[in-house]
Structure 1
Amino acid sequence: MKKLWERITRQESPENLEAKDARLKPHMTTKDLLGLGLGMVVGTAIFTLPGIVAAEHTGPAVALSFVVGAIGAGLAALAYAETSAALPVAGSAFSWISVLFGEGFGWIAGWLMLAEYFLAITFVASGWSAYVQGFLSEFGFHLPAWLSSGYNPQTGGFFDIFAAISIILVGLLLSRKMEGVNKLENIIVILKVAVVILFIVVGFTSIKYSNFHPFIPAHKAGTAFGGMTGILAGAAQVFVAYGGFDVIASNTAETKDPGKNMPRGIIGTLIIGSLLFIGVSLVLVGMFKYTNYANNAEASAWALRKSGHMITANLLAVVAIVGMFASLIGTVLASSRLIYAFGRDGLLSKRLGKVNKHHLPGNALLVVTIAAVLVGSILPFTFLANLVSAGTLISFMFVSLGIYALRPREGKDIPVPKFRMPLYPVLPAVSALVSFIIFLELSNDAKILTFVWFIVGAIIYFGYGIRHSSVADQK
């Protein structure tokens, strides 16, 4: 047992990871990181989640769920900012925890992150499909029921063809040189932010203040609706919206001057994204009673159309359709870098850790694309929305607690970063605690899936990774 524990806690060398990642080309600036982060944040979630969460959990108080989520994510963002600046390597929490606590704990963090990223891809693709179909329906185009959504016995849905197409297109785009992809993403993000602001301004003219009453509905016993219970349940569900800075962190090895640019990108994404989410949430529930948004995956465009703002609604739908590609780019990119890190360190096949002539992990990208197409086309949208937050919250807890192992090593075998989490040693514990409290409010489906995914990961690690680890080769 002692020998097994020693193998699980064997730590990766920071210098060794940086040497391996030297094959990846640093090219991202603060502007590119903000593009990635806001591409994820101002994506499917901002156009879909405020309405769904209002109908299922909070009523008009949905903005408070985003405030709670922003507080929890903001604390974790500070931990991410310090760790990414101190350890500028690919794989974010997986690589960091492998250095700080050992490869076994790093694998757990990374494996649960993979579920987060993977479900985020399929969640975004499903939302993109809903907007495409909503837009095309205005022109009389309708898909057969079995091709219009993931598995849904009530509607006859079985395979979401548009979700599959979106994932394939993004996979092809990311197989090219990344500099061009970053420029495209930055342009798309500027358009998306402009249209979100337009929605807030135009939608504000259609607000009926009676729709805000009561702002916090009474809690319905035995449910996750109303009161503080509903707000916390809503915060747990909207955490998918705050995965943007986690996506940024996965690209640390491809960032110029990560000690300066990573904290700026991470914290900037959180602040801008939170303000936009709160604004959209307040306007949306003010336009129509929250019950109208139940199971509506294109709530923002729907509200504009119903209130007579057809031009703005169609503009929003078009930009949402184009803009969700920015979210897909970020999540597919993060997933492929994590799979690459697994292969790089020998915990999965080392073929996944190979870098091609474009300085990109092509094999990892191919695996992510194929798997996401298969799962994202079958799982229904609302099911995915409930599951994505679990991996995000667990990653936040790992990285927050990791500060306690990082700080004593700074200035020794790890450089002192340009940014450090304030109020140490209190704030890292508070950050982990807040994420844990929100995790407890997740649906039972999310908790069960997380546990099953953990068991699968443990089997892979003890059956393969622990014996093929590159850390073991160094010993």
Structure 2
Amino acid sequence: MWEVMSDPQSSLALPVTRLTRRKTLDQVTAECQSHDLKRTLTATQLTLLGVGATIGAGIYVMTGEAAADYAGPAVLVSFVIAALACLFTAFSYGELSSTLPVAGSAYSYAYVSIGEGAAWTVGWLLLLEYGISCAAVASGLSGYATSLLSDLGVHVPAALSQSTFQTVLSGANLTLTVGPRLDFVGGLAVMIVTALLVRGVQESARVNAVIVVIKVGVLFVFVGFGLQAMHAAYWHPFIPQSEGGFRYGLPGVFRAASIIFFAYVGFEAVSTAAAEARNPRRDVPIGIVLSLVICTAVYILVASVLIGIVPYRELGVADPLAIAVNAMHEPWLALLIKVGATVGLCSVLLGLLYGQTRIFFSMSRDGLIPAAFSRVHPTLRTPWIGTILLGILVAIATATMPLEVISDLVSIGTACAFGIVNFTVIWQRNTRPGITRPFSVPLGGITIGGFWIGIAPALGIAFCVIMTLPLCIDLLRALGNGNPLPAILLGIYIVIGIATYFAYGRSHSRMAQAPFDAD
């Protein structure tokens, strides 16, 4: 199994061999049966988990930015483009989760199909998607909660509601400033959600269900009153004339889609719950696809009303729904929107933090990160130590870091992870055509030279590329304009990921001492 290790001529091949060592389906099946997590989640709870983790900052913040700066009323088309990118990937998640009902989501799928190197890459990208964006959501929650408390007569000083480091845009340059500040509100929200996740997944699912009902209900109240205040003239021109670059026109529509893409990533949290679902092979695919469809419908409905109430150029603010409510002259509705945003972002926080703990659970069981992240509480049946450690790290990041600067980086990481998931379906179909697939990607496929290429996963990869290109172009433009901060952050993140794997993961991997499939 490890003959290459004893061959002195193989020293150059060894690192590659380690990166491509794979788990077998038998190993994955055994892991599914041996974990100590509690199987309690139903299809309905999984769907609500996806909705709860998705509807949040995307509708309360990013819709306004995407419309004002890039797409205008055509932001509705941007929502459809981003939804399609996620839908084809959701189909791929559905097939893989029905075949491999494991807790690690895309990380575990890549480990079986492509190898340890790809699995680590996906796991590191998912940390960017879940862990870092979790801190960004907590930061947004802090802003809404502070504003809500102020309306209720409770003043929270800036020193306790803003992060230690702040970004300042001066011309084309983005610089960091530091001050005696600490986002205590955001950090506290993270620790409250952490305590709930430690308490148990069933309890977390019940709280999430209540929150989802509240926040979706608030959005429908907004739509109901907003329909009476819409102005048809605000919809024209539907696609504003291009002003150069990605500002309006067709390029702006796609740039807006790449921003909105960030708002959809929460649906993937459903796949991380496979180890705790009652019937994962059936319920996880249902939860993934259904939550995505529901969220898309809600997004488009709310965005349609928002654009009809306020001219799109005025929506580039942190709280576009509040601007719309002010234009409707309904003060009580403004307060309700803030309640919905604060409560709603709590469920996003819960879904993202839950997903990250389960991915770390799987990586820890594989030896790629310390064993503490996979230690399950004997009574609560949750990975309690790992959840607490991750909660503390996210709380510290929320309290100190200017996380709004990395939303584009999160979208890049997510698109890369989604692309690997789609490729994994194609790989699995060609290398293991005979395994049982309770759910299969639709639209079929074509065979070229004996190699099967699925239409749905291929479209998923294409849309991920479409989502990534505008982000990468803007990243390069910022670099050329003397704003290297985003590129530096991305470079630092990549270097840390590579160094962590080679310093710890590669040598501690359980596959280093076990037979592996390197075919």
**TM-score interval w.r.t. the shorter chain?**
over 0.9
- Whether the 8 Å contact between 1:236 and 1:439 is mirrored in structure 2 is yes
Rounded to whole Å, the distance in 2 between the matches of 1:143 and 1:4 is 53
Q: Does 1:303 align with 2:324?
A: yes
* Structure 1 residues 367 and 422: CA distance shift in structure 2, 3 A: farther
Partner of 1:101: 114
Rounded to whole Å, the distance in 2 between the matches of 1:317 and 1:207 is 21
Alpha-carbon offset, residue 447 of structure 1: 6.0
Rounded to whole Å, the distance in 2 between the matches of 1:359 and 1:180 is 12
2:400 counterpart SS class: coil
Rounded to whole Å, the distance in 2 between the matches of 1:289 and 1:87 is 48
- Whether the 8 Å contact between 2:441 and 2:456 is mirrored in structure 1 is no
Q: Could you list the per-position Cα deviations for residues 133-158 of structure 1 after superposition, in whole angstroms to 9, with x for gaps in the alignment?
A: 22233345443333333333669794
Q: In the alignment, which of 455, 466, 472 is matched to residue 506 of structure 2?
A: 466
Q: Could you list the per-position Cα deviations for residues 365-414 of structure 1 after superposition, in whole angstroms to 9, with x for gaps in the alignment?
A: 122111111112233464243332122211110000111121135564x4
Q: In the alignment, which of 161, 166, 180 is matched to residue 152 of structure 1?
A: 166
What letter corresponds to residue 305 of structure 1 in structure 2?
N
Q: Does 1:317 align with 2:357?
A: no
Q: Could you list the per-position Cα deviations for residues 71-94 of structure 1 after superposition, in whole angstroms to 9, with x for gaps in the alignment?
A: 111111111111111110111111
Q: Does 1:274 align with 2:303?
A: no
Partner of 2:350: 329
What letter corresponds to residue 77 of structure 1 in structure 2?
A
Alpha-carbon offset, residue 251 of structure 1: 1.1
2:104 counterpart SS class: coil
% identical equivalent positions: 31
* Structure 1 residues 138 and 228: CA distance shift in structure 2, 3 A: same
Alpha-carbon offset, residue 433 of structure 1: 1.5
1:152 counterpart SS class: strand
Partner of 2:462: 433
What letter corresponds to residue 111 of structure 2 in structure 1?
S
Q: Could you list the per-position Cα deviations for residues 208-261 of structure 1 after superposition, in whole angstroms to 9, with x for gaps in the alignment?
A: 22222222222222x432112211111111112211221111111111211111
Q: In the alignment, which of 28, 33, 36 is matched to residue 41 of structure 2?
A: 28
What letter corresponds to residue 285 of structure 1 in structure 2?
I
What letter corresponds to residue 32 of structure 1 in structure 2?
Q
Q: Could you list the per-position Cα deviations for residues 160-210 of structure 1 after superposition, in whole angstroms to 9, with x for gaps in the alignment?
A: 222111101101111102212111111211222222122112112111222
2:443 counterpart SS class: coil
Q: In the alignment, which of 202, 205, 209 is matched to residue 182 of structure 1?
A: 205
Unaligned runs of 5+ in 2: 1-11, 169-176, 446-453, 476-484
Aligned residue pair count: 472
Partner of 1:14: 25
The 5-angstrom pairing of residues 344-383 of structure 1 reads 344-357=365-378, 358-380=380-402, 382-383=404-405
Root-mean-square deviation over aligned CA pairs:
2.0
- Whether the 8 Å contact between 1:353 and 1:361 is mirrored in structure 2 is yes
Q: In the alignment, which of 290, 294, 311 is matched to residue 289 of structure 1?
A: 311
Q: In the alignment, which of 109, 132, 138 is matched to residue 125 of structure 1?
A: 138
Alpha-carbon offset, residue 421 of structure 1: 4.0
- Whether the 8 Å contact between 1:47 and 1:299 is mirrored in structure 2 is yes
- Whether the 8 Å contact between 1:59 and 1:226 is mirrored in structure 2 is yes
**More off after superposition, 142-151 vs 234-243:** 142-151
Partner of 2:231: 208
Unaligned runs of 5+ in 1: none
**More off after superposition, 260-269 vs 151-160:** 151-160
Give TM-score scaled by structure 2 length.
0.86
Q: Does 1:173 align with 2:196?
A: yes
What letter corresponds to residue 126 of structure 2 in structure 1?
M
* Structure 1 residues 145 and 177: CA distance shift in structure 2, 3 A: closer
Moved runs in structure 1, 4+ residues, more than 6 A? none
What letter corresponds to residue 373 of structure 1 in structure 2?
A
- Whether the 8 Å contact between 2:88 and 2:460 is mirrored in structure 1 is yes
Rounded to whole Å, the distance in 1 between the matches of 2:159 and 2:291 is 38
Rounded to whole Å, the distance in 2 between the matches of 1:88 and 1:400 is 17
Partner of 1:63: 76
Alpha-carbon offset, residue 307 of structure 1: 1.9
Partner of 1:195: 218
- Whether the 8 Å contact between 1:65 and 1:232 is mirrored in structure 2 is yes
1:214 counterpart SS class: coil
